[in-house]
Structure 1
Amino acid sequence: MTDHAALVHGDPVPKARVEALLEAVPKRPDRGAGNCATSHDNAADGHRHNKALSAPARAERQRRRWATQVVVADELARRAVAERGLPSVAEVSPTQLLAVAENDVADMGSIVAAALAHSPAARTLLTELEAEQHIPEEAVQDYYARNRDRFLTPDALRRGVDPFGRRAAPADFLPYEQARQGIAQELRRAAGRRAFFAWFDQARADVVYAAGHEHPGDPAHPDHEHRH
């Protein structure tokens, strides 16, 4: 029996790191605090390896797979930060998992959201990727034009102005010059997240997982879970 949960570029990631994270995350976390994948009981029932396992046991196995992905993300991010020559980051304290906002889970998936909450290196890498994104002026202008409802003035909101109606006047909207910086920041943040997803998918492509630590969405397993 191996003592590692995964091999990253041939280097072992100890199971102890996964177990430490599992200790820090409640067994049935709510959506806002490190939501993790759970099993589909019906899919598992027909597989010979799963017939003897209870639903809680299958759920716990999926939780371990989910935690392995979070730990692997941290390991990969540490390496990426070092390769980019970024300032060193603090070591992870698995008992101090930051709260994960529910909308972050919805936007990014539970693995990436929890990885960013768990890993200083992942947060450092995301910040760097966001800073690298170039947002064309045309994209900012287009966002401003297509989302007029987001730029109504407080007075227009109080009066119930329809931002897409004929009676909406230019004075009912924040000027583009005032809204531009916030829009650019929002678009850069979204682009940075997309870059982080792309990096993570590519970086973990060659990771080798020990039995019982595979990705929770691996279709090779009958109790796989589609959420990330």
Structure 2
Amino acid sequence: MTEDYAASIRGKPIPKQHVETFLSTHALRGAGNCAINHDAAAHERRHRQQRRWATQVIVTDELARHACAARRLPPPDDVLPMHLLTIPETDVADLGSIIAAALAHSPAARALLAALEREQHIPETAVRDYYDRNQDRFLTPEALRRGVDPYDAPDPSDIHPYEQVQDGIAQQLRHAAARRAFFDWLDRARADVVYAEGHEHPGDPSHPDHEHRH
């Protein structure tokens, strides 16, 4: 790999310029104002980690494009959208910032996740089990207003009937299963990636700035 490339996927290079363009276009919220950061070393560490973070987003997009092509899914847009999209904080908390950003910015990643969700089969027994174990989530508005304790043998009329919420539960479980499948796919796909120095995963313990988070 030459010094002009941030990473290589099965021999196909990803130019460093793609990473720099992404970083300059998609500012990281909460990154802080560099003008008031008097610790130059800390600022440089942050910049290196941002570069590694951006590399992972770009790599995830490229891997997703390969996966979509292999699945014969409709081709996504040719390039990442060059404007800042808002990434929901709940997605960052649930998915990690790299995957949340990749899904926000990569049509291919979103297409792959949607395909994985369509493939998930949730047994009816799992749906019923979720309903039975999470009665607190299915209290009626009237029961909530009265402060009914869902763990103290509530009256059946205080709980939404199973048939009323069954489809919603199944969809929720499919969504969660698809996200797990996406994580598994990405872990396997990353095995084919070779990174240039300075573009490793932010959590890679082989470099001194690593952070064990995504």
TM bucket (normalised to shorter chain) is over 0.9
Counterpart selection for 1:137 from 124, 147, 151: 124
- Where does residue 110 of structure 1 map in the other structure? 97
Task: List gaps (5 residues or longer) in structure 1.
Answer: 36-52
The residue number in structure 1 matching 2:156 is 170
Is 1:128 paired with 2:115? yes
Number of equivalenced pairs = 205
Cross-structure match for 1:16: 17
1:190 aligns with one of 170, 176, 182: 176
Determine whether 1:153 maps to 2:140. yes
Q: Deviations over 1:167-224 (max 9, x none)?
A: x111111110011000000000000000000000100112000111011110111210
**Alpha-carbon deviations, 1:140-162, whole Å to 9, x = none?**
01110111011011111111111
Task: Evaluate the alpha carbon distance shift between residue 87 and residue 94 of structure 1 in structure 2; reply closer, same or farther with a 3 A threshold.
Answer: closer
Does structure 1 conserve the Cα–Cα contact (< 8 Å) formed by 2:91 and 2:100? Answer: yes
CA contact (8 A) 1:20 1:94 kept: no
Scaled by the length of structure 2, the TM-score of the pair is 0.92
In 2, distance between residues paired with 1:122 and 1:70? Answer: 10
Mapped pair 1:29 → 2:29: yes
SS in 2 for 1:197: helix
Q: TM-score, normalised by structure 1?
A: 0.87
Displacement of 1:99 in angstroms is: 1.1
Task: Give the match's secondary structure for 1:204.
Answer: helix
Aligned mates of 1:124, 1:172 — CA distance in 2 = 39
Shift of 1:95: 2.1
What is the alpha-carbon distance in structure 1 between the residues aligned to residue 44 and residue 81 of structure 2?
23
1-structure distance, mates of 2:194, 2:84:
25
Task: Quote the Cα distance in structure 2 between the aligned partners of 1:107 and 1:130.
Answer: 17
- Given that 2:77 and 2:107 are in contact with CA atoms closer than 8 Å, whether structure 1 keeps it comes out as yes
User: 1:98 Cα deviation (Å)?
Assistant: 2.1
Using the aligned pairs only, state the percent identity.
64
Instruction: Report deviation, 1:94.
Output: 4.4
Contact 2:26 2:83 in 1 (8 A): no
- Is 1:203 matched up with 2:189? yes
- Separation in structure 2 between the aligned mates of residue 130 and residue 150 of structure 1, nearest angstrom: 23
